[in-house]
Structures are given as structure tokens and as C-alpha cells.
Amino acid sequence: MNSPDRSAHIAELLRAVKATLESEREALIANDAERIVECSETKMKHMRRLNDLPAQGVDVLSGFAPDLRALAELNVANGALIARRRQETVWTLRQLGLYERDGGYDAYGSMGNTVRTRHRAVV
């Protein structure tokens, strides 16, 4: 694959990553767990394809620095949404009495940072 073809291939791949990240963001906002999982799997597939580029591909990628930066920012923003969702979930579980941090010492004598989950009885 010559350089213009390789550049076109990389540009197409980066567009696919961007579409996946945008879809992931929409799924995070909509709280659509199935779509979040699908987007994560697709994103990883695209990352593997980028990683599998031949060594010469690194030189070609340098021409896409602004696109790569924008994708990184989208990914960080999605990560912030994931962290916020996790905090909301933990807060809700705490309010229901189903989750609490255990502040005791662990088996190695260190201050434990373990999570104790309380399971409700199912009748």
C-alpha cells in the first residue's frame, strides 16, 4: 500500500473511531448499557487495527496529529461521563444500603480500601 492509499486508509479508520466515540457518548448520556458495550468493543477493534499498522504507519500518523488530539479529547470526555455514572451508581447503592467502603485493615496490615457489598435476601 503506497503512502496516499495508506493515508486514506488511516483517515477512514480515524473517522470510524470518531463515529464510535460519538456513539459511545450518546449511549452514555442515554444510559444505554448494551450500546455502551457495543461501542467499547468496536472502539477496541479500531484501536487494534491502528496498532497493527506497519511501522511506517507511524510516520503517516504524524500528519493526523490534530485528528488524534481531537479523538483523545473525545475519549477523555467519555471517560469523565463513565466516572460520573459510576459515582452516581455508588451513591445510589449506598443510599439503598447495598454498598459501603470497609475502613479496616487488610490481611497485610495496610489500611484496607475494600468494598463490602450487602446482598439482599431473595424470597
pLDDT at 113: 60
In a domain, 114, yes or no: no
In a domain, 109, yes or no: no
In a domain, 107, yes or no: no
For residue 35, the enclosing domain spans 3-97
Classified as helix, coil or strand, 85 is helix
Task: Please give the Cα distance from 100 to 119 (Å, whole number).
Answer: 12
Classified as helix, coil or strand, 10 is helix
pLDDT at 62: 79
Q: What is the pTM of this model?
A: 0.72
For the stretch 84-112, pLDDT in tens is 999 998 889 888 887 766 566 667 777 66
In a domain, 111, yes or no: no
Provide the grid cell at 112: 484496607
Between 104 and 15, name the one with better pLDDT: 15
Between 92 and 53, name the one with better pLDDT: 92
Provide the grid cell at 86: 459510576
Cα distances from 45 to residues 59, 83, 86, in angstroms, run 22, 23, 24
| Closest by CA position to 54, among listed 111, 10, 87 | 10
In a domain, 118, yes or no: no
Number of domains the chain is built from: 1
Count other Cβ atoms within 10 Å, centred on residue 39: 22
pLDDT over 90 percentage in the chain: 46
For the stretch 65-83, pLDDT in tens is 899 999 999 999 999 999 9
In a domain, 63, yes or no: yes
Cα distances from 98 to residues 27, 103, 121, in angstroms, run 26, 16, 12
In a domain, 8, yes or no: yes
DSSP, res 98: S
In a domain, 66, yes or no: yes
